Amino acid sequence: MSEIILEVENLRKYFPIKTGFKQVRYLKAVDNVSFTLARGETLGVIGESGSGKTTLGKTVIRLYKPTGGKILFNGEDIAPLPRKALKKYRKKMQIVYQDPYSSLNPRMRIRDIIGRPMKIHGLASTREEITSRVKQLLEEVGLPSEVMHRFPHELSGGQRQRIAIARALATEPELIVLDEPTSALDVSIQAQILNLLKEIQRKRNTAYIFISHDIAVVSYMSDRIAVMYMGVFVETGPTREVIGEPMHPYTKMLISVVPEPDPTKKIRVTEDLGEPQLPIDPPPICRFHDRCKYKLPVCDEKAPPKIPIGESGRTVACWLYGKGKTVERN
């Protein structure tokens, strides 16, 4: 068993919503999410727009203050720490965003963009030291060292995303959150970046949380997958199992509508699939209840527990699998 780097327990992130009245309501963007992550492992998080993926990623690395729950990073709970105390963890946890256009400071040269985090965290001090490390990092992400002197707008989208990755690597992180890192890129460029990320992981044994709404991309990248719906993990488990044999009705629906690049495998949608609501003070029952075609009476009464399935660490939060019930899969 490889070494656990991250243990997240019942993590919550609620955003207060202003209403006309005095009473405060909460948008529960992340609600009681738990998972673990080992060194060198990738957890993929899939889910539709607004399901809470980005909020989860930002909360885990403490760019957001959690509403509740634990984040054990190398065994230490960083959830309650105040800003100041976080500094020594910052360099260990990095994030790469979707949009390579807006995530890089347009007025800084590439050398400074990559060199800055080294300076802030005291990983390199002299000019020469920084320059030589920047060169190394550029090489690692497959760029010629001349780009050092350029500005972000002088680079293509794929090149900019390589810069964002190099910047994330600059502090030798143990965990990187990759939030839709290739969603803005063309497929051929996406393939380059995905393979680069895999290679970096192999070399550095970095743990990844890989977020995307693109299920094919996530399944290519991840050892395990978590399926997020309206702020909760409805299903988790090894990629092959979750994708190959989805159990939660939401996962089944999601996987059934992923288009394949094969005209002999056409998707057929005959019914209205509905849309998720905003999770604003949702009732304490399954959040998929209004769209679920397998709904049981209990689903309107109580939230489903997280039910372990088999020995592979798989879980599904659905009453269909509760109390020893067995249901035909598919």
Partner 1 sequence: MMTLLEVAGLSVIYHTDEGTVYALDKIDLAVGKGEIVSVVGESGSGKSTLANTVIKLLPPYAKVTEGRVLFEGKDILSLSEEDMRSIRGNRISMIFQEPNIALNPLFKIKEFMTDVYLAHHPEASREEALSRSLEMLREARVPTPEDVLERYPHELSGGMKQRVLIATSLLNSPDLLIADEPTSALDVSVQAQIISLLKRLQREKNMSVIFITHDLAVAAQIADRIVVMYAGHVLEEGSVDEVFQKPLHPYTEMLMKSVPKIGAEKIESPPGSIPDLRRRIEQCPFMDRCPKAFGKCREKPPLIALGDRKVACWLYNEG
Ligand X SMILES: Nc1ncnc2c1ncn2[C@@H]1O[C@H](COP(=O)(O)OP(=O)(O)OP(=O)(O)O)[C@@H](O)[C@H]1O
> 117 vs 276, which CB is nearer to partner 1?
276
Task: Select from ligand X, partner 1, Mg ion, none the partner in contact with residue 278, using the beta carbon and a kind-dependent cut-off of 5 to 8 Å.
Answer: ligand X
CA distance 226 to 8: 13
Binding site partner of 55, from Mg ion, partner 1, ligand X, none, Cβ cut-off 5-8 A by kind:
ligand X
Q: Give the DSSP letter of residue 152.
A: G
Q: Does 269 bind partner 1 (CB under 8 A)?
A: yes
Is residue 145 a contact point for partner 1 (CB under 8 A)? no
**Minimum Å distance from CB 168 to Mg ion?**
17
- 17 pairs with which residues across the strands? 25
Nearer to Mg ion, 54 or 59 (CB): 54
Query: Is 10 within 8 Å of 69 (Cβ atoms)?
Result: yes
Phi-psi region of 237 (alpha: psi -120 to 50; beta: other; left: phi over 0): left
Q: How far apart are CA 132 and CA 142, in angstroms?
A: 15
Taking CB under 8 A as the criterion, the residue among 18, 128, 144, 270 binding partner 1 is 270
Which of 23, 49, 326, 330 binds ligand X (CB under 6 A)? It is 49
Distance of closest approach, residue 260 Cβ to partner 1, in angstroms: 6
The token pair at 276 is 């998720």
- By the rule CB under 8 A, 23 interacts with partner 1: no
Contact between 19 and partner 1 per CB under 8 A: no
49: β partners: none
Q: In the complex with partner 1, which residue's Cβ is closer, 77 or 275? A: 275
The residues of the shown chain that bind Mg ion, judged by CB under 5 A, are 54
CB 9 within 8 A of CB 188: no
Q: What does the alpha-carbon distance between residue 177 and residue 168 come to, in Å, rounded to a whole number?
A: 10
SS3 201: helix
Integer angstrom CA distances of residue 320 from 35, 297, 306: 22, 11, 11
x-or-dash pattern for partner 1, window 34-63, by CB under 8 A? --------------xx--------------
Alpha carbons 64 and 83: distance in angstroms, whole number: 10
Nearest to 286 by CA among 309, 317, 316: 317
Pick from 5, 8, 11, 29 the residue near ligand X by CB under 6 A.
Answer: 29
Point out which residues bind partner 1 (CB under 8 A). 48-49, 156-158, 186-192, 194-195, 213-217, 219-220, 240, 243-244, 253-255, 257-264, 266-270, 272-273, 275
Point out which residues bind ligand X (CB under 6 A). 15, 27, 29, 47, 49-55, 213, 278
